[in-house]
Homo-oligomer: A and B are copies of this chain.
Amino acid sequence: MKTHISDANFPKSADGRVYHLGIKPGELANRIITVGDPARARTIGRYLDRQATAKAVENVQDQAESGVSGNHNGAHANDAPLSVFELYSERGFLTITGTYKGTPVSIVSIGMGSANMDFFVREAREVLDQAGAGDMVVIRFGSCGSLVDDLPVGSLTVPKTSLCVTRNYDFDFMQEEGLDAARPDFMDAYRISKPVRADSVLHDLLVAILREHLPSSTPVVDEHLNASADSFYSSQGRITSFPDHNTGLIDHLAACNVGSLEMETFHLLHLAANWPRPHAPSTQVAEKNGQETDQGAEPVPPPPTSIAVDPLILPSDNPLPTQDTEETILYPSPQQKTASSASQQHKRIRAAAVQMIFAERGSRAFITPQEVEVLQETTSKALLETLIRWEDVN
């Protein structure tokens, strides 16, 4: 932690950077692909528009090939005057922002698990709110295991719905396994949530563009539910040396039409479905948190933080394209630049997910590095196309 932080409720640096992602307003587009792995983020980032000299582009490629840049001081990783902004936060989040065929987009690498997805969604939405951006459009691009035959290794699933599987910490895991044949242990040892839906418009656009871009030998399936688990092992039904009481769990999920198992999608869809705040908080809540209240403003969301935020000013060492220099906000979409205050009241989070099948849980097959490389590159282009064609259908 190299910067001074000013408030324990929604901590930010003195220049308005959110605590974990490390970015500030103007550094994030509202059309976002989120992945787990910085290397995957850089693979997608290679397709962003370049407006620099050939020499500078070479430098970026070298950097991408060498992996994480190790930039821990919050400064820009690319010093060359490129059209791509890149920030690797000291908490391990990588944000790459640029344009694709002229439209601003971001790619954010978040690591693994629902906690990291929670950091990303909340802090990204906060940064966009401060920038006055409208809808946040997010595609999760991840990997998963499959439980069903029509999702072989190397195929893609685009779930319409996701549920979550979490460990019940109050269950006695040290008790003998299988005491009650009529009620399998996993029913008490794990909680299976109600499903939550992906944004149907974004989902359908994504499926259509993926099928356009992927070779016919790569199945793109959207028949199955997804399940996000809080462990790669126990709550995904893997049998290890720990007494996880999870025998039968994956068979049960497959019988419920769950096709894919991973760790992040549910939390993205859940937060998207539960924003914005439908009602302003009570005066009591706002006052307790030092917020100014606006009792007549329902359904406008309250101020997202309780602290002063610095004015949005272009950094003097701005590595971004000059086309927006008359704007203080770098990466709103064209429609947001002209958004009325009325439309600002209806801003939403619109989210969907596409997952590469890395493992078949039945046959125990696993994808090869070569297969990942090909699938990842083809899919990346389709995802960027989806983000920039989003305006056409809305």
Q: Which residues of B contact A301 (CB under 8 A)?
A: 241
Taking a contact as CB atoms under 8 Å apart, the answer to whether A359 and B11 are in contact is: yes
Q: Which of A121-150 contact B (CB under 8 A)?
A: 122, 125-126, 129, 145
Q: Which residues of B contact A176 (CB under 8 A)?
A: 278-279
Report which of B4, B113, B234 forms a contact with A113, defined as CB distance below 8 A. Answer: B113
Q: Which residues of B contact A51 (CB under 8 A)?
A: none
Q: Which residues of B contact A291 (CB under 8 A)?
A: 239
Taking a contact as CB atoms under 8 Å apart, the answer to whether B69 and A70 are in contact is: yes
Report which of B2, B119, B240, B284 forms a contact with A369, defined as CB distance below 8 A. Answer: B2
Q: Which residues of B contact A304 (CB under 8 A)?
A: 240-241
Asked if A285 is an interface residue, CB under 8 A from chain B, the answer is yes
Q: Which residues of B contact A39 (CB under 8 A)?
A: 72, 90
CA distance A359 to B7 in the complex (A): 8
Q: Which of A59-77 contact B (CB under 8 A)?
A: 66-72
Taking a contact as CB atoms under 8 Å apart, the answer to whether B366 and A8 are in contact is: yes
Q: Which residues of B contact A8 (CB under 8 A)?
A: 145, 359-361, 364-366
Quote the shortest CB–CB distance from A72 to chain B (angstroms). Answer: 4
Q: Which residues of B contact A69 (CB under 8 A)?
A: 70
Taking a contact as CB atoms under 8 Å apart, the answer to whether A126 and B241 are in contact is: yes
Binds B, one of A100-108, A167-175, A318-326: A167-175
Q: Which residues of B contact A20 (CB under 8 A)?
A: 112, 232
Quote the shortest CB–CB distance from A137 to chain B (angstroms). Answer: 18
Q: Mark A335-370, 1 if CB is under 8 A from B, else 0.
A: 000000000000000000000001111001111110
Q: Which residue in chain B gives the minimum CB-CB distance to A290?
A: B364
CA distance A139 to B6 in the complex (A): 29
Number of copies: 2
Binds B, one of A24-32, A207-215, A269-277, A385-393: A269-277
Q: Which residues of B contact A217 (CB under 8 A)?
A: none
Quote the shortest CB–CB distance from A12 to chain B (angstroms). Answer: 10
Q: Which residues of B contact A360 (CB under 8 A)?
A: 8
CA distance A148 to B1 in the complex (A): 23
Asked if A227 is an interface residue, CB under 8 A from chain B, the answer is no
Asked if A311 is an interface residue, CB under 8 A from chain B, the answer is no
Report which of B116, B196, B240, B273 forms a contact with A112, defined as CB distance below 8 A. Answer: B116
Asked if A204 is an interface residue, CB under 8 A from chain B, the answer is no
Q: Which residues of B contact A242 (CB under 8 A)?
A: 122, 125, 271, 274-275, 277
Q: Which of A241-290 contact B (CB under 8 A)?
A: 241-243, 247, 263, 266, 270-271, 273-279, 281-282, 284-285, 288-289
Quote the shortest CB–CB distance from A68 to chain B (angstroms). Answer: 4
Q: Which of A167-194 contact B (CB under 8 A)?
A: 169-170, 173-174, 176-178, 193-194
Q: Which residue in chain B gives the minimum CB-CB distance to A264?
A: B115
Report which of B177, B266, B369 forms a contact with A4, defined as CB distance below 8 A. Answer: B369
Asked if A164 is an interface residue, CB under 8 A from chain B, the answer is yes
Asked if A22 is an interface residue, CB under 8 A from chain B, the answer is no
Q: Which residues of B contact A288 (CB under 8 A)?
A: 239, 247
Taking a contact as CB atoms under 8 Å apart, the answer to whether A116 and B122 are in contact is: no
Report which of B3, B7, B230, B282 forms a contact with A114, defined as CB distance below 8 A. Answer: B230
CA distance A65 to B172 in the complex (A): 45
Asked if A50 is an interface residue, CB under 8 A from chain B, the answer is no
Taking a contact as CB atoms under 8 Å apart, the answer to whether B275 and A241 are in contact is: yes
CA distance A196 to B169 in the complex (A): 10
Q: Which residues of B contact A113 (CB under 8 A)?
A: 113-116
14 inter-chain pairs at a CB distance below 8 angstroms, sorted by A residue, are A4-B368, A8-B364, A10-B238, A37-B91, A67-B72, A115-B230, A118-B232, A118-B234, A122-B233, A125-B241, A177-B279, A242-B274, A243-B278, A247-B284
